[in-house]
Structure 1
């Protein structure tokens, strides 16, 4: 008999937060076709502090520029949605979706041509969430869904 806990249902888009980076209410697309989560960011600098590797980056959304620093865990080759292989910085930071907060790996990418500044991939969703692709904002307080999305 399984003792698995019930999974939280998310819509195809949600507002998420990265509390350690001071970012809240980020519109994110939930994408089970993508393995890695990504955040629209312009990498400004990578450097060492106290023996750890850091990356400094800027996040532009909501008409504001937010400057962030995070320990970077890797530089990986990641295939973009256009099929191009890109080398990206990957950070690991707490991610909040609804009431759930957990550490997630997030690649820093140029998402300026995308509709959402953040994409949540299946690795972050695994064993935590299931996706109801017919609804939006299910875990985003203050963003009521008006039924199945037409987009």
Structure 2
């Protein structure tokens, strides 16, 4: 049994709303995290640059935990939320209410790229914060203790 954070609930909400691959989740949450000049409470800042886009160990850990708890299932074409995952989300979903501006930004970006994951990936490569890092380097200079 794991303790669910608002970041776990955020991933579940994304999977309720969209059919995506894990790489899309990494790229989307990178863009949302990079959208503000100051740190955001719900954002992820452990991204490294890869040849395919942004990658967060924190996001991947959450995805792995959700799979281990059988709240999500991953196939070749997407990740989907399970019935058990829906029940957990319905119980904990209100915890995202204080972070509505972060969620709104997720929606705004996802709606633009919902049928174009390659476009989302290209958008990541155009981001100045992403471009400043070399492959394998951390992208953000803040958020690290």
Does TM-score exceed 0.5, indicating one fold? no
Q: Which of the two has higher C-alpha Rg? A: 1
* Structure with the higher helix share, 1 or 2: 2
Q: What TM-score comes out, normalization by structure 2 length?
A: 0.26
